[in-house]
Chains A and B, each alone.
Chain A
Amino acid sequence: MTTGTQALTDTQTQALLLKLTVLADDEIVVAHRNGEWTGHAPILEEDIALANIAQDELGHAGLYLTLAQNLGGSDPDQVAFWRGPDDYLNTRLVELPKGDWAFTMIRQFLYDTYEALWLEAATRSTYAPLAEIAAKAAREEKFHLQHTALWAERLALGTPESERRTQAALTELWPHAAQLFQPTHGEAELTAAGILPDLNAVHVRWTDLVTRHLTEKCGLTLPATPDAQPGRDTHTEHLAPLLEEMQSVAREYPTAEVW
C-alpha cells in the first residue's frame, strides 16, 4: 500500500480525469451488454452470473467516476447518463452487440484478463486513491476471470458447434481487443510518474496469458492483430442505440432523485 497522496499537477489531473473516464466507459458499456442477457442466458445460473458480473463492473465504474468527481470532475450519474455516443470513450470491443453465448464469454474473457492485470498493476500506483480502488476491484475481478476462462475452455472443447462458434467469436473480437491498450492523452506522463500502470507491460502480460489459455488449453487459433486501431472516439453504429436504451429512464425523468 502506498504511504501518502502526492499532489497532482494540473496537467496530471486533466490526464487522470480522462483516463478515469475511459476506464469507467468500458465498464459501463460492457456491464450493459452483460445486462442484456438478463432473462435470456442459456441457464438460470448464467443469467445470475452475468448479472453479478455486470453489477461488479458498474461498481468499478462508480469507483472510477467518484475518484474523478473528487478530482473536480462531474457527478458520476451525469457522466454515465447524460453523455451521448460522441462523448463516450469506450472501446469497440465492449460496444459490439451481445451476439451468441460464445461471443459474450470470449469478449468477457478478453476484457476480464485485461482488467484483472491492469488493476493488479494499478495497486502499485503512487497515487493512493487509485491504488485503493485497484486493490478493491482486483479482488472482485478474480472471480470474473475464473468464470470466463472456464467458459472459454468449456465452449472451445465442447461440441463441434460450440467450437465453431467460439472460434468465430475470437476471430471477430481479437482485432478489437488491441484497442484496450491504446494510451490516452497524457497517459505516458502519468505512467512515468508511477501514477498509472505501464500499459505496454500490461499488454505483454495480457497477450501471454490469453494466448496460452486460448491456444494451448482451448485449442483455438488467434487471428492476426491489426497494425493500427481507430481512436476511442470512433464508434460503431451499435453504441448509439445502446446508450439510448441505457439512458432512457434518466432522460425521461431528469429530475428524479430515486430511479
Chain B
Amino acid sequence: MEEHTSSTINLQPSTVWAALASVPDPEIPVVSITDMGMVRDVTVSDAGRVTVTFTPTFSGCPALHVIRDSIEQAVRDLGVTDIEVKSTLTPPWTTDWIGDDARERLRQYGIAPPAPTGEGQLIQLDAEPTRCPRCGSLNVRMTASFGPTLCKRMYVCDACREPFEGFKSL
C-alpha cells in the first residue's frame, strides 16, 4: 500500500464486500456475516468514506456489538479511515437470506439449516419440520425450543440417536 489516500479513493465496493465475507459470525464461526445475509449495503463515497449497512438477526442478539466492531475493523484493515456502520431493520432479517453454500456448511458443522419461512401464518403454534444434519432423517424430536444462542433450537434424531442444534426459521 504505497499511496494511502489514493488507494482509499479508488476502493471499490466489491473489495469491501470481499473483506466482509471473511468476517465470521461470532456465534457460528463456519459462516460469515455476508453468508448470513446480514450485510445489506456497501457504498464508497467520492471522498473515500465507506458506509456499511447491516441488519441484526435477532433484536436482542448479544453479539451485535461484536459484529459492528468486526465490520469496522475489517474495513479499517483495507486502509480506510472514514467508516460508518449503520444498522437497518427494513426489510427484517430472515433465514431465507442464508445462502445455499452456507446452509451446507451449517449442516456439516452439525446444525440443521433453517426451513424456508414461506408465507405461512405469522401467529402459529406449531414449529416447522426439521431434518437431522447427520443422517438426513425427518424423524426428529425438538428437545428444547431455545438453544445456546437466540437463533437455534435443540433436537434429538430418533433415527441415528444423535442430539443436534437446528437453526430457527425466522
Contacts and interface: CB of A to CB of B under 8 A. Distances in A.
A and B associate: yes
Interface of A: 1, 45-46, 48-49, 51-53, 55-60, 62-63, 116-117, 120, 128, 132-133, 135-140, 142-143, 145-147, 149-150
A135 B144 contact: no
Contact of A146 (B62, B91, B125): B125
A132 B144 contact: no
Contacts of B126: 146
A177 to B, nearest CB: 18
B148 interface: yes
Interface string B121-158: 01111110000000000000001111110100010000
Contact of B92 (A135, A142, A146): A135
Given A142-B123, A142-B124, A48 B89 contact: no
Contact of A139 (B61, B127, B146, B170): B170
16 contacts: A1-B90, A45-B146, A46-B144, A55-B61, A56-B58, A57-B60, A59-B59, A59-B61, A62-B59, A63-B89, A135-B90, A135-B91, A139-B92, A142-B124, A145-B123, A146-B124
A60 B59 contact: yes
Given A45-B143, A57-B60, A136 B89 contact: yes
A62 B94 CA distance: 20
A147 B59 CA distance: 19
Contact of B122 (A45, A57, A60, A120): A120
Contacts of A59: 58-61
A157 B122 CA distance: 27
Contacts of B61: 55, 59
Given A56-B60, A60-B60, A145-B123, A140 B146 contact: no
B125 A149 contact: yes
Q: Lowest 10 CB-CB distances: which A-B pairs, in order?
A: A59-B60, A59-B59, A45-B144, A49-B146, A52-B146, A55-B60, A136-B92, A132-B89, A56-B60, A135-B92
B59 A56 contact: yes
A48 B148 contact: yes
B145 A132 contact: no
A62 B87 CA distance: 14
A63 B59 CA distance: 7
Given A49-B146, A59-B60, A147-B145, A133 B168 contact: no
A137 B168 CA distance: 15
B62 A143 contact: no
A1 B88 CA distance: 14
A143 B122 contact: no
A146 B90 CA distance: 25
A1 B144 CA distance: 33
Contacts of A51: 146
A2 B78 CA distance: 37
A203 B89 CA distance: 27
Most chain A CB within 10 A, of B62, B92, B127, B168, is at: B92
B60 A58 contact: yes
A119 B20 CA distance: 33
Interface in B9-63: 58-62
A53 B146 contact: yes
B122 A146 contact: no
A146 B58 contact: no
